[in-house]
Amino acid sequence: MRIVIVGNGPGGVELANQLSGEEITIVEQEKVPHYSKPMLSHYIAGFIDKEKLFPYSLEWYEKKGIDLNLGARAELIDRARKRLITSEGEIPYDVLVIATGARPREPALEGKEFVHTLRTLQDAERIKEQIEKYEEVLILGGGFIGLELAGNLAKAGYKVKLVHRGSNLLGLDEELTKVIMEKLECDGVEFYLNANALKADKEGVLTDKGYVNGKVKICAFGIVPNKEIAVKSGIHAGRGILIDDHFRTSAKDVYAIGDCAEYNGIICGTAKAAMGHARVLANLLRGREDRYDFEFRSTIFKFGNFPIALIGKTRGGGKWLDKKTKVFLEGGKIVGAVVMEDIRKAMMLEKKIKAGVS
């Protein structure tokens, strides 16, 4: 079975890893091997060297028998001939997996040319250079990428401001938002909540609550799935590439996983989910029974010195189990939890909640 994977992010690389032994080709538009996006803010902050971003060497791909095509952009899927058309030529497939990920949502504000976004190593290098020059940063957006950046850069001693248009962080309630803010404020992050960015210039950003100074500006307003190759090839797409619970797209033998895929209105948006999709799809392609639970989300983030796990349903009325754990109940059962600092506990709770025994 010739399996062609478009994209060498965590979804694509994990799928190739799981299916090693099969005839695997990866097509990747970037010119570098797989690197860790969750570690980019650690790299920008100066906590790790660039080499540490690369978990797999080129030899690793070779040993695994993965044919890695770097610097090749997938353009179109010729479904009738079962060929992927790339910038470097055509590749025949039996199974094609689209794992093209996502890109940052562009800020819809005047002066967006003064604002960076962060997704790739190249973005990180650009931002790192600027931050080292100006030693201050203004982050727009209080999602997990904004908070990771804020935490790490403040921990590294940079002056950090974070502007967020809502009053709650990560969609959590007021109490949890307050705890996250207090932790990050201890490291020096200055928060501007309920502030809508209107216009950026060289020196900072004008919001509807006033002007906030910051020479280096990074916008983290969420993601836009890279669905274009599917759309161009006549494959059904909504916000992302539409898939069923077996990761099948509307085209025969074409699958989609990771940030580019949309299941029942859900775009997972984390590396953990992309790798989870890859593991389940690998089993399905090998004819084994498996299932991915799209409704159950669980991720551990580290905002500087502060690790936090969001498990299952984390909205609505919650109850504190202890100072570091808030749980969310439905019908007397724990269906979600936010666990701060104690990651072992978070992992235990995740297992229990998933198994429905808490």
Distance CA 88, CA 70 (A): 10
Report if residue 304 touches ligand FAD, rule: CB under 6 A: no
Report if residue 299 touches ligand FAD, rule: CB under 6 A: yes
Distance CA 277, CA 14 (A): 9
- Restricted to residues 260-279, the positions that interact with ligand FAD (CB under 6 A) are 269-272, 274
Report if residue 15 touches ligand FAD, rule: CB under 6 A: no
8 A C-beta contact, residue 149 and residue 177: no
Is 2 or 199 the residue whose CB approaches ligand FAD more closely?
A: 2
Residue type at position 332 = G
Among the listed residues 27, 33, 31, the one whose alpha carbon sits nearest the alpha carbon of residue 51: 33
CA Rg, the chain, in Å? 21
Candidate residues 16, 96, 102, 327; the one interacting with ligand FAD per rule CB under 6 A: 102
Chain centre distance of CA 154: 21
Bridge partner residues of 204 (DSSP): 213
- Restricted to residues 115-134, the positions that interact with ligand FAD (CB under 6 A) are 118-119
Report if residue 100 touches ligand FAD, rule: CB under 6 A: yes
Candidate residues 3, 145, 219, 237; the one interacting with ligand FAD per rule CB under 6 A: 145
To ligand FAD, the closest distance from the beta carbon of 289 in angstroms equals: 24
Report if residue 155 touches ligand FAD, rule: CB under 6 A: no
Q: How many CA atoms lie within 13 A of 120 on its CB side?
A: 15
Report if residue 301 touches ligand FAD, rule: CB under 6 A: yes
To ligand FAD, the closest distance from the beta carbon of 7 in angstroms equals: 3
Report if residue 68 touches ligand FAD, rule: CB under 6 A: no
Q: From residue 26 to residue 55, what is the string marking binding to ligand FAD with x (rule CB under 6 A)? A: -xxxx------xx-xx--------------
Q: How many residues bind ligand FAD (CB under 6 A)?
A: 36
Chain centre distance of CA 345: 23
**CA angle, residues 303, 170, 135, in degrees to nearest 5:** 40
Report if residue 11 touches ligand FAD, rule: CB under 6 A: yes
Residue 340 DSSP class: E
**CA angle, residues 177, 180, 185, in degrees to nearest 5:** 120
Distance CA 211, CA 207 (A): 6
Distance CA 130, CA 139 (A): 14
- Restricted to residues 217-246, the positions that interact with ligand FAD (CB under 6 A) are 226, 229
Is 55 or 316 the residue whose CB approaches ligand FAD more closely?
A: 55
- Binding segment for ligand FAD among 22-30, 174-182, 328-336, 345-353 (CB under 6 A)? 22-30
Candidate residues 64, 73, 79, 215; the one interacting with ligand FAD per rule CB under 6 A: 73
8 A C-beta contact, residue 10 and residue 51: no
Distance CA 204, CA 190 (A): 14
Candidate residues 3, 5, 8, 45; the one interacting with ligand FAD per rule CB under 6 A: 8
Is 187 or 259 the residue whose CB approaches ligand FAD more closely?
A: 259
Among the listed residues 148, 170, 110, 112, the one whose alpha carbon sits nearest the alpha carbon of residue 297: 170
Candidate residues 24, 68, 91, 99; the one interacting with ligand FAD per rule CB under 6 A: 99
Is 211 or 232 the residue whose CB approaches ligand FAD more closely?
A: 232
Residues 6+ apart with CB under 8 A from 307: 300, 301, 340, 341, 343
Residues that bind ligand FAD (CB under 6 A): 6-12, 27-30, 37-38, 40-41, 73-74, 99-102, 118-119, 145, 148, 226, 229, 258-259, 269-272, 274, 299, 301
